[in-house]
Amino acid sequence: TTGTRTGYLDRHGVEHPFGDAEAERQVRSDDRAHVFHSWSAQAKIDPLPIAAGEGSTFWDYEGNAYLDFSSQLVNLNLGHQHPDLVAAIQQQAGRLATVQPSMANDVRGELARRIAEVAPGTLNKVFFTNGGADANEYAVRLARRVTGRRKVLSMYRSYHGGTSTAIALTGDPRRWANEPSDPSVAHFFGPYPYRSAFHSTSPEEETQRALEHLENVIVLEGAGTIAALIAETVVGTNGVLVPPPGYLAGVRELCDRYGIVYIADEVMVGFGRVGEWFAVDAFDVVPDLITFAKGVNSGYVPLGGVVISDAIAAQFDDVAFQGGLTYSGHPLACAAGVATFDVFDRDGILDRVRDLGSRVVEPELRSWLERHPSLGEVRGRGLFWALELVRDRETREPLVPFNAAGPDAAPMAEVAAACKAAGVWPFTHFNRVHVAPPLVIGEDELRRGLAAIDAALDVADRYAR
């Protein structure tokens, strides 16, 4: 299919028809020869050249349209080429393209104010970064400065970014090849009712046991050595793990009891993904620091940051904060962030996410449990869902082993290929398919994409007992 487009614009603004084999060949050969890719064996990947994007769809050079059900890397909350964001960046580039961070700037200040207005509690100041990993680096640094302690606790099954401390915080296989980096990190098990580390049989029991475990970790690591605890409010890449009732409130309480700074990593779930400005609002907790990136401006220009409580910010009233980045709060990025707030307000994006999530996505995905023997669990919130695929529903044996690669991962590769052949670009990780389309996706597009994933699960069913 070619969607509604017949071609794409080159970088000079000249329109070309799809199917220009020479243009595609050039993209592929430059990429192969000179782009060193993230998280990949360079010789084993074959990245798809992308020619155009609009709303929830992108096109390859042949004109195949894909519904972007992973919102790129779950950052494209307002879709490709949103006219308001593009215009805001163009206008800002025309009036003042860059201002260094120790000078004040209108869009940077306005964006910080609007973030503070929607942030919970007394989180009123924003330290801007270039993305999510460095936001987490700086959150940890703030916590270490104000507590005088060094250690940080984070969950297994978490992702906090690819830089030095952020990868050390990460509790998934991406950390392994990068060890040791920051040595003062200890990991603990968060709640995961479907595969409970605590053999619990209900979400309530999972909360209670996960909190007992966490307190044991705090005590045995030495409460007086722990600066911070960092947790994704809803665990993202590692499985869309929505915390069971009371868990995050319990984390807040433990952090208070032991003088630990609570950092909520909302890089993936902030700015609307689960139908809230910040996901902590869904769980009635107020952390000390919130990190954000991605959805703040849909990733049109790199931007991230740390929202800081008044109590922590005040510690730096008379003492310098030693840290900074040349592009902190870059005006082009902030202009796109301000435009994001305008679009959210005008178009009622948060209500839309809650509505589409509860009225369309949740009932549809849950109905598949009756039809697909490979579907072990459906979980999520807003426009952020995971389908956990299994070979056996009784034993919950995953469709592919943990961290599978090569032939072991073939069943999931086949599921992903079936989605792509049907024009849907999914996010797959280990034995899961995630559903995370742009928040602006049309209901018809959403239903069409879900139908394609539904059909692709037939492939997984063939492996199920």
Residue among 112 and 293 whose Cβ is closer to ligand PLP: 293
Q: Which long-range contacts (C-beta less than 8 Å, at least 24 apart) are formed by 193-200?
A: 193/244, 194/376, 194/377, 194/379, 194/388, 194/396, 195/396
From 89-97, 130-138, 179-187, 270-278, give the range in contact with ligand PLP by CB under 6 A: 130-138
Cα distance between residue 246 and residue 9, in whole Å = 50
8 three-state secondary structure: strand
Q: What is the signed CA dihedral for 215, 216, 221, 222, rounded to 10 degrees? A: 70
Owner of token pair 């839309």: 352
From 15-23, 45-53, 261-269, 431-439, give the range in contact with ligand PLP by CB under 6 A: 261-269
Site string for ligand PLP, 79-118 (x = CB under 6 A): ----------------------------------------
From 58-66, 155-163, 175-183, 213-221, give the range in contact with ligand PLP by CB under 6 A: 155-163
* Of 265, 261, 288, nearest in space to 278 by CA: 265
71: CB partners within 8 A, 6+ apart:
77, 436, 437, 438
Q: Does 161 bind ligand PLP (CB under 6 A)?
A: yes
Cα distance between residue 338 and residue 278, in whole Å = 16
Residues 268-307 binding ligand PLP (CB under 6 A) are 268, 293, 304
From 19-27, 262-270, 318-326, 370-378, give the range in contact with ligand PLP by CB under 6 A: 262-270
Structure tokens at 18: 């799809």
Which residue in the shown chain puts its C-beta closest to ligand PLP?
132
Residue among 306 and 460 whose Cβ is closer to ligand PLP: 306
265, 364, 388, 445: residue in contact with ligand PLP (rule CB under 6 A): 265
Residues 338-397 binding ligand PLP (CB under 6 A) are none
Residue among 161 and 244 whose Cβ is closer to ligand PLP: 161
Cα distance between residue 171 and residue 160, in whole Å = 8
Rounded to a whole number of angstroms, the minimum distance from the CB of residue 29 to ligand PLP is: 27
356 vs 114, 268, 376, 382, 443, CA distance in Å? 25, 19, 23, 7, 7
Site string for ligand PLP, 202-241 (x = CB under 6 A): ------------------------------x---xx----
From 103-111, 120-128, 260-268, 350-358, give the range in contact with ligand PLP by CB under 6 A: 260-268
Structure tokens at 113: 């104010």
Greatest CA separation for the chain: 65
Q: Does 267 bind ligand PLP (CB under 6 A)?
A: yes
Tabulate helix, strand, coil % of the chain (nearest 5).
40, 20, 40
Cα distance between residue 26 and residue 55, in whole Å = 26
Rounded to a whole number of angstroms, the minimum distance from the CB of residue 397 to ligand PLP is: 27
From 9-17, 128-136, 240-248, 282-290, give the range in contact with ligand PLP by CB under 6 A: 128-136
Structure tokens at 321: 């904060």
- Count of residues binding ligand PLP (CB under 6 A)? 16
Q: Does 432 bind ligand PLP (CB under 6 A)?
A: no
383: CB partners within 8 A, 6+ apart:
273, 274, 275, 353, 356, 357, 361, 435, 436, 437, 439, 441
Rounded to a whole number of angstroms, the minimum distance from the CB of residue 268 to ligand PLP is: 4
Residue among 108 and 429 whose Cβ is closer to ligand PLP: 429
Residues 132-151 binding ligand PLP (CB under 6 A) are 132-133, 136
From 157-165, 181-189, 279-287, 332-340, give the range in contact with ligand PLP by CB under 6 A: 157-165
| Residue 414 burial (C-beta neighbours within 10 Å; 0-12, 13-18, 19+) | middle
> Which stretches of the chain bind ligand PLP, using CB under 6 A?
73, 131-133, 136, 159-161, 232, 236-237, 265, 267-268, 293, 304
